[in-house]
Amino acid sequence: MKIQLKDICHARSGDKGDTANIGLIALQERYYPLIARCVTAERVKKHFEGIALGPVERFEMPNIWALNFLLHGALGGGGTKSLKNDAQGKTLSTALLRMEIEIEETIRI
């Protein structure tokens, strides 16, 4: 069964220079192993193809059921240099929540 991350997570994103960070937080503890397994740095890099031009790093925060992603080169130069409407990457959090992951039918959401 396919679900969107928005069904099991909440998220917030922001900027540091030309790097965006996205904190992805599982809504329930039992969803954390699921996102830790499925939402890899590689998956996120592919999801943001054409947006994150540099590498993607991932950090685990199991204590708050969260993953933190750094998307390098994602803000069109960052700060006042960027021509993007979302120059600070504030909406990249919801863009990540679009991602679909495959889960077993037995897991009830």
Partner 1 sequence: MREKVRIASAQGFLGDLQTAPLDQVTKGPVDYVVMDFLAEVTMSILQKQKKRNSELGYARDLIPIIEQILPLCVSRNIRIITNGGGANPQACSEAILKCAKKRGIQSLKVGVVSGDDILDRIPDLRSQGIELRNMETGESLDPVLERLESANVYFGASPIVKALRQGAQIVITGRTTDTGLTLAPMIYEFGWSESDWDKLAAGTIAGHILECGGQASGGNFSGDWQSVPDLEHIGFPIAEAWPGGEIVITKHDNTGGMVTVQTVKEQLVYEIGDPRNYITPDCVADFTSIKLEQVGNDRVSVSQVKGAPATAFYKVSMAYLDGYTAIGTLTYSWPEALEKAKRADQILRARLKDMNLKFEEIRTEYLGYNSCHGPLAHGVQDPNEVVLRIGVRDRSYDVVERFGKELAPLILTGPPGVTGFAGGRPKAKEVISYWPALIPVEAVSPEVHINTL
The site for partner 1 (CB under 8 A) is made up of 10-12, 14-17, 19, 21, 23, 25, 27, 47-51, 59-66, 68, 70, 76-81, 83-86, 91, 93-95, 97-98
User: Taking the complex as a whole, how short is the minimal distance between the CB of residue 90 and partner 1, in angstroms?
Assistant: 8
* Residue type at 28 in one-letter notation: Q
User: Taking the complex as a whole, how short is the minimal distance between the CB of residue 57 and partner 1, in angstroms?
Assistant: 8
Give the residue with the Cβ less far from partner 1, 64 or 107: 64
User: Taking the complex as a whole, how short is the minimal distance between the CB of residue 66 and partner 1, in angstroms?
Assistant: 6
DSSP annotation of 39 reads S
Q: What are the beta bridge partners of residue 4?
A: 100
For residues 88 and 79, what is the distance between their CA atoms, to the nearest angstrom?
7
CA torsion sign for 7, 9, 10, 13 is: negative
Give the residue with the Cβ less far from partner 1, 100 or 104: 100
User: Taking the complex as a whole, how short is the minimal distance between the CB of residue 106 and partner 1, in angstroms?
Assistant: 25
Secondary structure of residue 109 in the 3-state scheme: coil
How many Cα neighbours within 13 Å face the side chain of 73? 10
Give the residue with the Cβ less far from partner 1, 12 or 43: 12
For residues 34 and 19, what is the distance between their CA atoms, to the nearest angstrom?
26
Give the residue with the Cβ less far from partner 1, 40 or 76: 76
